[in-house]
Structure 1
Amino acid sequence: MVVPVPSSFLILHGYENHRPAGHWQRWLSLELTARGHDVRYPQLPDADHPDLELWRTAALANLATLTEGTITVIAHSASAMLWLREQSGGSRPRVDRVVLVSPPEASIVGEIAAVREFAWTPSEQDHETPLDLGASDALVVFGTGDDFAPHGAAGIAPFVAARTVDLEGAGHITPATGFGPWPEMLAWCEGLPAFGA
């Protein structure tokens, strides 16, 4: 399914991310905007000392402004955990498509005081019925060698109703591992073949 123009996109960054020019999320926001889509890429409050409730409020407020075409959420790292928590008993927002990029594992996040409250752990229910990620088209992308998710897709695949992908050597999927421009993510956002499908 090719995503119609215009469609709506919410891009949510992670911990310590001040939306630098070289990050794939900023590149993606510019590319999608240039193609005629409605894009929100908010600076979430106090990225170095995030508060779960403030980030939640900001994310949901931005999501509520999206009305054009197909609605897609792209969340990285701490925001990916935020989305998982919302689907696990928060407001459970519904969108058309969602991609979670590099959600950290709870055991690792628990060691980082600034984001400890963001940690998501699969519930007993998720072990029986994989968690609905709030979209009919859901994808979770990991990079191998990610210190924040050492088990990669295998750590989450059994517990979420989503296709999972491991990208060889991509680490935490940041500019440091070569993710400034990310054409494959742009292709996925537009409903074109990407990530092996």
Structure 2
Amino acid sequence: MPRRPTRTVPTVVVPGLNGSGEGHWQTWLEEQLREAGRETVRPDFGDHDRPELAPWLAALRATLAPLPADGFDVVAHSLGAVLWLHHVSTVADPGDSPRPARVLLVAPPSPRTRLEAVAGFFPPPLDVDRVRRGADGTVLVAGSDDPYLPNGIAAEYGLPLKMATTVVPDGGHLNTESGYGPWPAVLDWCRRDNLAFF
């Protein structure tokens, strides 16, 4: 018997470098949720090919500002997941920014990333307490063979943040190049209430 959709809160989709455009699972997810009558919002980062930390943080906060505290989800991919870690590390007071109910961080690149185009985002802050205060619950998902996570998601983020991780076998960077287009598992996560990804 298929699982019945139960969750109706807004979903904030936070893309990474290049904007998760046509064919990417984040774009597919937005389409699926909207067809089901769900609200989705996405920060306006302007030029996705030239990311800068301060403007991206400002765009994320502007997107979150009107949302109900503990009444929305965040689904962030790649550099967007790293951006989320910067966001929660700089929210000094819980009233400064609405807190989501759940956060899904997908394939954040290694904290030791040396790509010049995103150098200002690395290393990301790995503050356990601030990440925990930043949402009712946060989980990590990454491919077993992600080229941007040479030591694996658990070693790079899960253990430092003391956070649950899900490894997708042969998932690569969980992007269009890895075949994630439609991704039913992430849609299923958005539809239900529990935090675990699988």
TM-score interval, smaller chain: 0.7 to 0.9
Cα offset, 1:89, TM superposition: 3.2
Measured in 2, the distance between the counterparts of 1:28 and 1:147 equals 24
Bigger shift: 184-193 or 56-65?
184-193
Measured in 2, the distance between the counterparts of 1:191 and 1:12 equals 19
Cα offset, 1:41, TM superposition: 2.4
* Contact 2:139/2:163 (8 A) holds in 1: yes
Measured in 1, the distance between the counterparts of 2:178 and 2:133 equals 27
Q: How does 1:122-141 map to 2 (within 5 A)?
A: 126=128, 131-132=131-132, 134-141=134-141
Distance of aligned partners of 1:4 and 1:188 in 2 relative to their CA distance in 1, 3 Å threshold: closer
Cα offset, 1:4, TM superposition: 3.4
Aligned counterpart in structure 2 of residue 104 of structure 1, from 102, 109, 126: 109
RMSD of Structure 2 on Structure 1 (CA): 2.4
Query: Could you tell me the percent identity over the aligned residues?
Result: 32
Give the match's secondary structure for 2:59: helix
* Matched length: 188
Uncovered stretches (5+) of structure 2, i.e. residues with no partner: none
Cα deviations across residues 96-134 of structure 1 (Å, max 9, x unaligned)? 0100001111212xx2111111113455x64xx684261
1:72 — aligned with what? 73
Cα offset, 1:175, TM superposition: 1.1
Q: How does 1:51-70 map to 2 (within 5 A)?
A: 51-67=52-68, 70=71
* Contact 1:144/1:150 (8 A) holds in 2: no
Cα offset, 1:68, TM superposition: 9.2
Cα deviations across residues 46-98 of structure 1 (Å, max 9, x unaligned)? 11111111111111111123239830011111111111112223457421010
* Contact 1:8/1:68 (8 A) holds in 2: no
1:157 — aligned with what? 158
Matched, 1:114 2:117: yes
Uncovered stretches (5+) of structure 1, i.e. residues with no partner: none
1:142 — aligned with what? 142
Measured in 1, the distance between the counterparts of 2:111 and 2:69 equals 34
1:9 — aligned with what? 11
TM-score (norm 1): 0.84
Distance of aligned partners of 1:133 and 1:11 in 2 relative to their CA distance in 1, 3 Å threshold: farther
Cα deviations across residues 16-55 of structure 1 (Å, max 9, x unaligned)? 22x4220000000011111111111244221111111111
Cα offset, 1:162, TM superposition: 3.0
Measured in 2, the distance between the counterparts of 1:46 and 1:146 equals 25
